[in-house]
Amino acid sequence: MSLPSNLIDFLVSQAHGVKGLSDLGVEAVPDQYIQSLEHRFDNGKVVSHESIPVIDLANWEDPDVTESIFNAAIKWGFFQIVNHGIPLKVIEDLKASVHRFFELPADEKKHIKENSPSDVVRLATSFSPHAESVLEWKDYLHLVYASEEKIQAYWPAICKEQSLEYMKHAEVLIRRLLNVLLKGLNVKEMDNEREHALMGAMILDFNYYPPCPNAEAVAGVGPHSDISSITVLLQDDNGGLYVRASDGDNWIFVPPVDGALVINIGDVLQIMSNDRYKSIEHQAVVNRAKTRISIPIFVNPAPDAIIGPLPEVLEEGAEPKYKQVVFSDYFKYFFSKPHDGKETLEFARI
């Protein structure tokens, strides 16, 4: 099998994505995917003496549970949760629908791509292909948790019901988690304004990483921090997610735990907490043999929300480390450049 002569046309216009490339069964991927040696993931940098905590949420009200969440947000910026209240069947149905979606013939995906308003549904490949010099080995579907009317009109039928069911459960969990995290910042409760700034917009992403013949030389998702307030990530049992270790140099593997969700603090909550909570760098690697999927919910501020350190965290006389920024400006900045570690935060730093 040979590679398509016009790669971007094949990937984007014809909506084959990397799934289409992978299906060609080529022995080597196009050069555009090959990372320079210094940017490649180095297995020698994976440490096993650290791991992110797994927190059991069966007893939400238990002060020990709350304490573990605060500590995880401060120390790790990442934790897994079990007994989170989302039924296993809802999770399994969602994962199956992600596979079904990407297994649709390219012309059906093309039809969806061309007939969906981009503020509701966006099918894409890599991260920001126009801004990247090296492409990422990933296709994704971006589903905005918009009004019921828009969801009904535009979310693809093949995954609509499963996605909506998952989001309805996840929304309850997200509100609870944010309320706990706010308590750790001396905020009594999430009023309407805070809700607008923390969870005013939510996006459900389906990440699809097909098998890659050059798995060691490509990136699934390069090192980055999320710009969300928090991200709720469901990963399958293949594994591929690595989080920056506390030494700032090595990486920690996030092992798939059956039925668990991975929670991470995003830039918005690092900014609002004036660096008390950490938005930690992470990346996803791909593998040779299997398709891996992951399903993040990016819990974002509403586009017009103004983000800055909360008055409650500055009460004790702390100097603000960030200025006030409009979230839509931050969002645009993030997508205007390739994945680049934690550099995005600099946009808001004083």
Ligand X SMILES: O=C(O)CCC(=O)C(=O)O
Binding site for ligand X (CB under 6 A): 205, 207, 221, 226, 233, 235, 240-241, 282, 284, 294, 296
Q: Does 226 bind Fe ion (CB under 5 A)?
A: yes
Q: Which residues contact 311 (CB under 8 A, 6 or more apart)?
A: none
Single-letter amino acid, residue 327: F
Structure tokens at 324: 């006030």
- Report the SS3 class of residue 343: helix
In the complex, the smallest distance separating the C-beta of residue 284 from Fe ion, rounded to whole angstroms, is: 8
Give the nearer residue to ligand X in terms of CB position, either 241 or 265: 241
Give the nearer residue to Fe ion in terms of CB position, either 10 or 334: 334
241 binds, among ligand X, Fe ion, none (CB under 5 to 8 A by kind): ligand X
Give the nearer residue to Fe ion in terms of CB position, either 226 or 267: 226
Give the nearer residue to Fe ion in terms of CB position, either 136 or 226: 226
Taking CB atoms, the residue at the shortest distance from ligand X is 294
In the complex, the smallest distance separating the C-beta of residue 186 from ligand X, rounded to whole angstroms, is: 29
Q: Which residues contact 300 (CB under 8 A, 6 or more apart)?
A: 199, 200, 201, 202, 203, 227, 228, 229, 268, 327, 331
139 binds, among Fe ion, ligand X, none (CB under 5 to 8 A by kind): none
Give the nearer residue to ligand X in terms of CB position, either 125 or 207: 207
284 binds, among Fe ion, ligand X, none (CB under 5 to 8 A by kind): ligand X
Within 10 angstroms of residue 271's Cβ, the number of other Cβ atoms is 28
In the complex, the smallest distance separating the C-beta of residue 295 from ligand X, rounded to whole angstroms, is: 9
Give the nearer residue to Fe ion in terms of CB position, either 87 or 341: 341
Give the nearer residue to ligand X in terms of CB position, either 77 or 296: 296
- Interface positions, 239-268, toward Fe ion (CB under 5 A): none
- Rounded CA-CA distance 342/279 in Å is 8
In the complex, the smallest distance separating the C-beta of residue 245 from ligand X, rounded to whole angstroms, is: 16
Structure tokens at 10: 């094949």
DSSP 82: E
DSSP 320: P
In the complex, the smallest distance separating the C-beta of residue 126 from ligand X, rounded to whole angstroms, is: 12
Look at residues 316, 310, 53 and name the one whose alpha carbon lies nearest to residue 185.
310
94 binds, among Fe ion, ligand X, none (CB under 5 to 8 A by kind): none
In the complex, the smallest distance separating the C-beta of residue 122 from ligand X, rounded to whole angstroms, is: 14
Within 10 angstroms of residue 61's Cβ, the number of other Cβ atoms is 6
281 binds, among ligand X, Fe ion, none (CB under 5 to 8 A by kind): none
Single-letter amino acid, residue 306: I
235 binds, among Fe ion, ligand X, none (CB under 5 to 8 A by kind): ligand X
What is the contact mask toward Fe ion in residues 117 to 136, using x (rule: CB under 5 A)? --------------------
Contacts of residues 163-170 at CB distance under 8 Å and 24 or more positions apart, as own/partner, are 163/94, 163/97, 163/204, 165/90, 165/93, 165/94, 166/86, 166/90, 166/91, 166/93, 166/94, 166/204, 167/202, 167/204, 167/297, 169/85, 169/86, 169/87, 169/90, 170/86, 170/232, 170/297
Look at residues 276, 274, 227, 234 and name the one whose alpha carbon lies nearest to residue 256.
234
- Rounded CA-CA distance 283/253 in Å is 10
Sheet holding 230-235, edge to edge: 54-56, 78-82, 261-265, 230-235, 292-300, 201-209, 139-144, 121-125
Give the nearer residue to ligand X in terms of CB position, either 162 or 225: 225
228 binds, among ligand X, Fe ion, none (CB under 5 to 8 A by kind): none
In the complex, the smallest distance separating the C-beta of residue 228 from ligand X, rounded to whole angstroms, is: 9
In the complex, the smallest distance separating the C-beta of residue 61 from Fe ion, rounded to whole angstroms, is: 30
Stretch that binds Fe ion, among 107-115, 192-200, 218-226, 242-250 (CB under 5 A): 218-226
- Report the SS3 class of residue 99: helix
Residues in touch with Fe ion (CB under 5 A): 226
